[in-house]
Structure 1
Amino acid sequence: MLISYEGQDFKEVIDRPGLVLVDFYATWCGPCKMLMPQLEALSEEQPQIPFVKVDIDQHKPLAKETYGVTSVPTLVLFKDGVEVSRQSGFAPKDAVFKWIQANK
Protein backbone atom coordinates (compact mmCIF):
# COMPACT_ATOMS: atom_id res chain seq x y z
CA MET A 1 0.00 0.00 0.00
CA LEU A 2 1.25 3.44 -0.91
CA ILE A 3 1.04 5.97 1.91
CA SER A 4 0.51 9.63 1.04
CA TYR A 5 2.66 12.02 3.01
CA GLU A 6 0.35 14.65 4.47
CA GLY A 7 2.80 16.99 6.18
CA GLN A 8 3.51 15.13 9.41
CA ASP A 9 7.05 15.09 10.79
CA PHE A 10 8.98 13.52 7.90
CA LYS A 11 11.70 12.28 10.24
CA GLU A 12 9.08 10.12 11.94
CA VAL A 13 8.06 8.73 8.55
CA ILE A 14 11.56 7.59 7.57
CA ASP A 15 13.18 7.05 10.98
CA ARG A 16 12.28 3.43 11.56
CA PRO A 17 14.13 0.13 11.47
CA GLY A 18 14.59 -1.29 7.99
CA LEU A 19 13.75 0.17 4.62
CA VAL A 20 11.37 2.97 3.63
CA LEU A 21 10.88 3.89 -0.03
CA VAL A 22 9.87 7.48 -0.75
CA ASP A 23 8.48 8.48 -4.15
CA PHE A 24 8.80 12.20 -4.83
CA TYR A 25 6.27 12.81 -7.61
CA ALA A 26 4.01 15.43 -9.21
CA THR A 27 0.41 15.01 -10.32
CA TRP A 28 1.21 16.56 -13.72
CA CYS A 29 4.18 14.23 -14.40
CA GLY A 30 3.64 11.58 -17.10
CA PRO A 31 6.44 9.23 -15.97
CA CYS A 32 5.14 9.54 -12.38
CA LYS A 33 1.72 8.38 -13.55
CA MET A 34 3.32 5.43 -15.35
CA LEU A 35 5.35 4.49 -12.27
CA MET A 36 2.49 4.70 -9.75
CA PRO A 37 0.77 1.35 -10.59
CA GLN A 38 4.12 -0.39 -10.49
CA LEU A 39 4.89 1.03 -7.05
CA GLU A 40 1.41 0.03 -5.86
CA ALA A 41 2.06 -3.56 -6.99
CA LEU A 42 5.51 -3.62 -5.37
CA SER A 43 4.14 -2.22 -2.12
CA GLU A 44 1.64 -5.10 -1.99
CA GLU A 45 4.39 -7.63 -2.73
CA GLN A 46 6.73 -6.05 -0.13
CA PRO A 47 4.35 -5.23 2.77
CA GLN A 48 7.24 -4.98 5.26
CA ILE A 49 8.54 -1.89 3.43
CA PRO A 50 6.56 1.34 3.74
CA PHE A 51 6.12 3.05 0.37
CA VAL A 52 5.53 6.78 0.91
CA LYS A 53 4.57 9.19 -1.86
CA VAL A 54 5.35 12.89 -1.53
CA ASP A 55 3.79 15.43 -3.90
CA ILE A 56 6.58 17.91 -4.63
CA ASP A 57 4.14 20.72 -5.40
CA GLN A 58 2.48 20.41 -1.98
CA HIS A 59 5.76 19.89 -0.10
CA LYS A 60 8.33 22.00 -1.98
CA PRO A 61 10.63 22.78 0.97
CA LEU A 62 10.89 19.11 1.89
CA ALA A 63 11.48 17.94 -1.68
CA LYS A 64 13.75 20.68 -3.00
CA GLU A 65 15.52 22.18 0.00
CA THR A 66 15.78 19.20 2.33
CA TYR A 67 16.30 16.38 -0.19
CA GLY A 68 17.49 18.22 -3.30
CA VAL A 69 14.88 16.71 -5.60
CA THR A 70 15.19 18.42 -8.99
CA SER A 71 13.31 15.99 -11.22
CA VAL A 72 10.37 13.64 -10.88
CA PRO A 73 9.84 10.89 -10.28
CA THR A 74 12.66 10.51 -7.80
CA LEU A 75 12.72 7.43 -5.60
CA VAL A 76 14.72 7.64 -2.39
CA LEU A 77 15.44 4.56 -0.30
CA PHE A 78 16.07 5.04 3.41
CA LYS A 79 17.49 2.35 5.68
CA ASP A 80 17.20 2.85 9.44
CA GLY A 81 16.36 6.52 8.79
CA VAL A 82 19.37 7.23 6.56
CA GLU A 83 19.29 7.70 2.79
CA VAL A 84 21.10 4.80 1.14
CA SER A 85 20.18 5.21 -2.53
CA ARG A 86 18.14 7.23 -4.99
CA GLN A 87 17.11 7.00 -8.60
CA SER A 88 15.30 9.42 -10.88
CA GLY A 89 13.03 8.83 -13.83
CA PHE A 90 10.77 6.00 -14.81
CA ALA A 91 11.95 2.43 -14.26
CA PRO A 92 10.07 -0.82 -14.83
CA LYS A 93 8.78 -2.74 -11.82
CA ASP A 94 11.49 -5.42 -12.06
CA ALA A 95 14.24 -2.80 -12.08
CA VAL A 96 12.79 -1.06 -9.02
CA PHE A 97 12.51 -4.43 -7.24
CA LYS A 98 16.16 -5.24 -8.00
CA TRP A 99 17.21 -1.78 -6.81
CA ILE A 100 15.37 -2.32 -3.52
CA GLN A 101 16.90 -5.79 -3.07
CA ALA A 102 20.40 -4.47 -3.75
CA ASN A 103 19.99 -2.00 -0.88
CA LYS A 104 18.56 -4.29 1.80
Structure 2
Amino acid sequence: MNDTPLLIPCPHCGAMNRVPATRLGQSPSCGRCHRALFDGRPLALTAADFDRHAVRSGLPLLVDFWAPWCGPCRTMAPEFEAAAAELEPRLRLAKVDTEAEPGLGARFAIRSIPTLVLLHEGRELARQSGALPRSRIVAWAQAQLPR
Protein backbone atom coordinates (compact mmCIF):
# COMPACT_ATOMS: atom_id res chain seq x y z
CA MET A 1 0.00 0.00 0.00
CA ASN A 2 1.38 3.44 -0.84
CA ASP A 3 1.39 6.50 1.37
CA THR A 4 -1.00 8.54 -0.79
CA PRO A 5 -3.38 10.44 1.49
CA LEU A 6 -7.03 9.43 1.34
CA LEU A 7 -9.90 11.77 2.15
CA ILE A 8 -11.88 10.22 5.00
CA PRO A 9 -15.05 11.89 6.31
CA CYS A 10 -15.41 11.82 10.09
CA PRO A 11 -18.45 9.71 11.03
CA HIS A 12 -19.11 12.05 13.98
CA CYS A 13 -18.65 15.65 12.79
CA GLY A 14 -18.40 15.21 9.00
CA ALA A 15 -15.01 16.92 8.66
CA MET A 16 -12.88 15.67 5.78
CA ASN A 17 -9.54 14.27 6.95
CA ARG A 18 -6.44 13.46 4.90
CA VAL A 19 -5.02 10.15 6.10
CA PRO A 20 -2.02 8.42 4.49
CA ALA A 21 -3.15 4.99 3.23
CA THR A 22 -0.40 3.32 5.25
CA ARG A 23 -1.83 4.81 8.47
CA LEU A 24 -5.40 3.55 8.08
CA GLY A 25 -4.77 0.63 10.43
CA GLN A 26 -3.26 2.88 13.13
CA SER A 27 -6.61 4.13 14.56
CA PRO A 28 -6.59 7.59 12.95
CA SER A 29 -8.67 10.30 14.57
CA CYS A 30 -10.46 13.35 13.24
CA GLY A 31 -8.49 16.57 13.08
CA ARG A 32 -11.56 18.59 14.10
CA CYS A 33 -13.38 16.60 16.81
CA HIS A 34 -10.51 14.21 17.70
CA ARG A 35 -12.80 11.16 17.74
CA ALA A 36 -11.88 7.90 15.99
CA LEU A 37 -12.47 7.82 12.24
CA PHE A 38 -13.31 4.10 12.52
CA ASP A 39 -15.31 2.48 15.29
CA GLY A 40 -16.19 -0.86 13.69
CA ARG A 41 -19.87 -0.04 13.24
CA PRO A 42 -21.89 0.93 10.17
CA LEU A 43 -22.93 4.56 9.76
CA ALA A 44 -26.57 5.54 9.36
CA LEU A 45 -26.57 7.80 6.30
CA THR A 46 -29.16 10.31 5.14
CA ALA A 47 -29.49 12.22 1.88
CA ALA A 48 -27.72 15.15 3.58
CA ASP A 49 -24.48 13.25 4.28
CA PHE A 50 -24.57 10.41 1.75
CA ASP A 51 -22.38 12.00 -0.94
CA ARG A 52 -19.72 12.99 1.59
CA HIS A 53 -19.13 9.27 2.24
CA ALA A 54 -20.07 7.82 -1.17
CA VAL A 55 -18.50 10.34 -3.54
CA ARG A 56 -15.93 12.49 -1.73
CA SER A 57 -14.32 9.77 0.40
CA GLY A 58 -11.24 7.92 -0.81
CA LEU A 59 -12.55 4.72 0.79
CA PRO A 60 -14.98 2.30 -0.83
CA LEU A 61 -18.42 2.38 0.80
CA LEU A 62 -20.59 -0.70 1.31
CA VAL A 63 -24.22 0.37 1.77
CA ASP A 64 -27.00 -1.78 3.19
CA PHE A 65 -30.32 -0.48 1.81
CA TRP A 66 -32.96 -1.70 4.28
CA ALA A 67 -36.32 -0.85 5.90
CA PRO A 68 -37.53 -1.28 9.50
CA TRP A 69 -40.53 -3.43 8.49
CA CYS A 70 -38.35 -5.93 6.58
CA GLY A 71 -37.76 -9.20 8.45
CA PRO A 72 -34.69 -10.28 6.42
CA CYS A 73 -33.24 -6.77 6.92
CA ARG A 74 -33.60 -7.08 10.69
CA THR A 75 -32.06 -10.56 10.57
CA MET A 76 -29.07 -9.30 8.60
CA ALA A 77 -28.49 -6.16 10.74
CA PRO A 78 -26.24 -7.80 13.38
CA GLU A 79 -24.38 -9.69 10.65
CA PHE A 80 -23.71 -6.43 8.79
CA GLU A 81 -22.53 -4.80 12.02
CA ALA A 82 -20.13 -7.70 12.65
CA ALA A 83 -18.85 -7.36 9.07
CA ALA A 84 -18.08 -3.67 9.71
CA ALA A 85 -15.76 -4.59 12.57
CA GLU A 86 -13.94 -7.00 10.24
CA LEU A 87 -13.80 -4.87 7.06
CA GLU A 88 -12.83 -1.47 8.47
CA PRO A 89 -10.60 0.41 7.76
CA ARG A 90 -10.27 -1.04 4.25
CA LEU A 91 -13.77 0.17 3.50
CA ARG A 92 -16.60 1.97 5.28
CA LEU A 93 -19.97 0.31 5.91
CA ALA A 94 -23.21 2.27 6.07
CA LYS A 95 -26.95 1.72 6.27
CA VAL A 96 -29.67 3.63 4.44
CA ASP A 97 -33.26 3.30 5.66
CA THR A 98 -35.23 3.35 2.40
CA GLU A 99 -38.42 4.34 4.24
CA ALA A 100 -36.79 7.45 5.72
CA GLU A 101 -34.70 8.16 2.60
CA PRO A 102 -36.82 7.17 -0.43
CA GLY A 103 -34.80 9.46 -2.69
CA LEU A 104 -31.63 7.45 -2.08
CA GLY A 105 -33.52 4.22 -2.74
CA ALA A 106 -34.78 5.66 -6.02
CA ARG A 107 -31.35 7.04 -6.95
CA PHE A 108 -29.91 3.52 -6.75
CA ALA A 109 -32.99 1.80 -8.21
CA ILE A 110 -33.43 -0.38 -5.14
CA ARG A 111 -36.16 -2.89 -6.01
CA SER A 112 -35.75 -5.36 -3.14
CA ILE A 113 -34.32 -5.19 0.33
CA PRO A 114 -31.93 -5.82 1.83
CA THR A 115 -29.63 -4.84 -1.00
CA LEU A 116 -25.91 -4.26 -0.60
CA VAL A 117 -24.31 -1.74 -2.96
CA LEU A 118 -20.54 -1.28 -3.07
CA LEU A 119 -19.47 2.20 -4.21
CA HIS A 120 -16.11 3.85 -4.75
CA GLU A 121 -15.80 7.55 -5.54
CA GLY A 122 -19.49 7.67 -6.45
CA ARG A 123 -19.33 4.76 -8.90
CA GLU A 124 -21.18 1.52 -8.25
CA LEU A 125 -18.80 -1.45 -8.28
CA ALA A 126 -21.27 -4.23 -7.42
CA ARG A 127 -24.58 -5.07 -5.77
CA GLN A 128 -26.09 -8.08 -4.01
CA SER A 129 -29.69 -8.55 -2.88
CA GLY A 130 -30.88 -10.75 -0.05
CA ALA A 131 -29.87 -11.32 3.55
CA LEU A 132 -26.37 -12.70 4.04
CA PRO A 133 -24.41 -13.91 7.06
CA ARG A 134 -21.31 -11.99 8.18
CA SER A 135 -18.90 -14.40 6.48
CA ARG A 136 -20.62 -14.05 3.09
CA ILE A 137 -20.84 -10.24 3.41
CA VAL A 138 -17.09 -10.08 4.12
CA ALA A 139 -16.15 -12.53 1.36
CA TRP A 140 -18.40 -10.83 -1.21
CA ALA A 141 -17.13 -7.32 -0.37
CA GLN A 142 -13.47 -8.35 -0.46
CA ALA A 143 -13.97 -10.09 -3.81
CA GLN A 144 -15.45 -6.91 -5.32
CA LEU A 145 -12.76 -4.48 -4.17
CA PRO A 146 -10.23 -3.22 -6.69
CA ARG A 147 -6.82 -4.83 -6.12
Q: Say whether the fold is shared (TM-score over 0.5).
A: yes
Q: Does 1:71 align with 2:121?
A: no
Quote the offset at 1:6 in angstroms.
3.0
User: Corresponding residue for 2:61?
Assistant: 20
Moved beyond 3 Å, runs of 4+: none
* Larger RCO, structures 1/2 (Cα 8 Å, 6+ apart): 1
Larger Rg, first or second structure (1 or 2): 2
Q: Does 1:6 align with 2:46?
A: yes
CA offsets 1:5-48 (integer angstroms, 9 cap, x no match) = 13314222202223110110000101001111011111011221
Structure 2 portions without partners, runs of 5+: 1-40
Q: TM-score, normalised by structure 2?
A: 0.66
**Equivalent of 2:136 in 73, 81, 95:** 95
Structure 1 portions without partners, runs of 5+: none
Aligned residue pair count: 103
Q: TM-score, normalised by structure 1?
A: 0.91
Instruction: State the SS of the aligned residue for 1:28.
Output: coil
Aligned equivalents of 2:141 and 2:87: distance in 1? 10
User: Corresponding residue for 1:50?
Assistant: 92
Larger mean CA deviation between 4-13 and 25-34 belongs to 4-13
